[in-house]
Structure formats: C-alpha cells, structure tokens
C-alpha cells in the first residue's frame, strides 16, 4: 500500500489502521466536495460518516476478516460513479461484491499468486482507476507516475 500511495501527489491519507473496523487502509482524495453521505453505516454515527465522506474518495485496504468472512483486500469510491461495479479490474481473482458494495480480492488468492505484491498492486491501481476514470478525476494533476503493471 505504501508503494501504491507513493505515486499519488494529491491529498492522500497515510497507510493506517482504520479505527472503525481495525483494517489497514489508505484513501486518495479527488480534491472535490462530495454529496452529503446519507449515513446509515452500522456502528458509526451519521455525523462521523458525513465528515469522513465530505470529499470524493477512492479508498482501499486490507481487512483481517471476522465471523464467516475471510480476510480480503477491498476498494470502493464515494460517491460511487455510474458503471463502477462493472469496470474491468485486475487480477482475475478480484470481483465486485454486491453485498459489501465494493471490490474485493480474497487474501487466499493473493497468498497463492505467483507474485503476491503485483497482484495487490494491480488490484489497488485498477480499482482506483475505476473510481477516478468514471468519476472524471483530474488524474494528470493528482498522479506522479502510475504504478507499472506486470
């Protein structure tokens, strides 16, 4: 995630443990305000959600899993642009989860990949591109060199 973050010159969070669900996360910001979030996120006050999503974001991370859900990498955009869930992403083992309303890459698929680092970078970059391209982000002003995919 640090390598992925390093190619972004716009506003970006550090790679950090997210307090809400104890996942490792990084968020890129477009620089534009977002529509007010409707709230309703389980275990999070609506005022927190509205503040957290006051600007357009592309966020990704790693969640350790819990209950019946196994560990996974995830990525989403807010606001979710039209066509986001159908955007082609990599690697092949990644997919859009209607239940979670985000892209996921199972940890097990990364663990078994020939090159796990490349698999994760492909996922992070391609899901960012889904949100940024469909959301008309000013990518030339926000990015240094894009992450090279193998």
pLDDT (tens digit per residue) in 33-79: 999 999 888 778 899 889 888 999 999 999 998 887 899 999 999 99
Using DSSP, state whether 63 is helix, strand or coil: strand
Residue 20 lies in a domain: yes
The answer to whether the CB of 139 falls within 8 A of the CB of 7 is no
Residue 43, in any domain of the structure? yes
Burial category of 98 from C-beta neighbours within 10 Å (exposed 0-12, middle 13-18, buried 19 and up): exposed
Range of the domain at 92: 2-142
Q: Is beta strand 23-33 parallel, antiparallel or unpaired with respect to 16-18?
A: antiparallel
Q: Does the reported pTM lie above 0.85? A: yes
Residue 148 placed within a domain: no
Domain count within the chain: 1
Is residue 78 assigned to a domain? yes
87 pLDDT above the threshold of 90: yes
Quick check: is 41 in a domain?
yes
* pLDDT of the residue at 20: 65
pLDDT score recorded for residue 94: 98
Predicted local distance difference test score (pLDDT) of residue 145: 66
**Within a domain: 150:** no
What 3-state DSSP class applies to 94? coil
Residue 147 lies in a domain: no
Q: Which two tokens stand for residue 124?
A: 């992070």
């Amino acid at each position: 995630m640090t390598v992925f973050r390093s190619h972004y010159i716009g506003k970006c969070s550090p790679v950090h443990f997210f307090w809400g669900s104890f996942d490792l996360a990084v968020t890129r910001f477009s620089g534009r305000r977002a529509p007010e979030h409707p709230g309703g996120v389980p275990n999070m006050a609506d005022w927190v959600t509205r503040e957290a999503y006051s600007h357009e974001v592309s966020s990704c991370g790693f969640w350790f899993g819990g209950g019946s859900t196994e560990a996974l990498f995830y990525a989403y955009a807010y606001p979710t642009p039209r066509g986001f869930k159908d955007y082609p992403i990599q690697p092949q083992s990644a997919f859009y989860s209607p239940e979670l309303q985000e892209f996921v890459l199972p940890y097990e698929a990364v663990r078994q990949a020939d090159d796990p680092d490349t698999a994760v970078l492909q996922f992070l970059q391609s899901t960012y591109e889904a949100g940024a391209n469909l959301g008309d982000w000013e990518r030339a002003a926000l990015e240094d060199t894009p992450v090279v995919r193998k």
